[in-house]
A and B are shown apart, each in its own frame.
Chain A
Amino acid sequence: DQQVKQNSPSLSVQEGRISILNCDYTNSMFDYFLWYKKYPAEGPTFLISISSIKDKNEDGRFTVFLNKSAKHLSLHIVPSQPGDSAVYFCAASFRPRLQGAQKLVFGQGTRLTINP
């Protein structure tokens, strides 16, 4: 039962244009949502996060939007640059028990390619 899904395995965007990566989730207990970026042969690196009580968070060229009613979030990158080419993972966190450990659940990733 996959609680976080990224339905697009790949996305190709022209340099300078906007890249939009999408993510859907099923668990209403998630309290934070995060995006990670991964280059080949490296571990995922944190990009941006958003609390479940907000609907938008912006950091430079990166903006994450959260639509709780639709259980959907998206990452916008504008303008897209060649260095943005990577796999992007959506992740969601929750704490199953109040004093217990935080759990981070990942989607399967979307490979973004920025074309010159």
Chain B
Amino acid sequence: DTAVSQTPKYLVTQMGNDKSIKCEQNLGHDTMYWYKQDSKKFLKIMFSYNNKELIINETVPNRFSPKSPDKAHLNLHINSLELGDSAVYFCASSQDRLIRTGLHRGYTFGSGTRLTVV
């Protein structure tokens, strides 16, 4: 009964390959996110979807494409993987209505996907 689940947990792949990371939340939240934790340990937002609509798209290479088939899922597809893509990727979700009313508990995060490009 995991709230936000990501698969796979670990991913090792060669440069140039295409890979996907899947994320699902069973909390009934309306907004989902992808964050990247880089080598300096900063957690930086990449994308945000609200009810399947892209609402935040930070400066991320076009090789990264999020896809939200429904509001419980937000997958991340990466084309032509590069060495610099190696990082831990976290999926998260939130109920935007609660945040607007001041019941701010931030986001619920998945356990992360450690991507290693060799």
Contact = CB atoms under 8 A, between A and B. Distances in A.
Contacts of B92: 43
A103 B4 CA distance: 19
Contact of B31 (A44, A46, A101): A101
B106 A34 contact: yes
Interface in A18-53: 32, 34, 36, 41-46, 49, 51
A104 interface: yes
Contact of A108 (B40, B45, B99, B108): B40
B111 interface: yes
Given A44-B43, A89-B43, A104 B109 contact: no
B112 interface: yes
Contacts of A63: none
Given A51-B104, A100-B55, A101-B56, A43 B110 contact: yes
B106 A46 contact: yes
Nearest to B55: A101
Interface residues of B, number: 31
A93 interface: yes
Interface residues of A, number: 26
Interface in B44-96: 44-45, 48, 50, 55-56, 90, 92, 94, 96
Given A41-B111, A49-B104, A102 B94 contact: yes
Given A43-B4, A43-B92, A102-B99, A93 B104 contact: yes
Given A101-B48, A101-B55, A108-B40, A43 B109 contact: yes
Interface of B: 4, 9, 31, 33, 35, 40-45, 48, 50, 55-56, 90, 92, 94, 96, 99-100, 102, 104-112
Interface of A: 2, 32, 34, 36, 41-46, 49, 51, 87, 89, 91, 93, 100-109
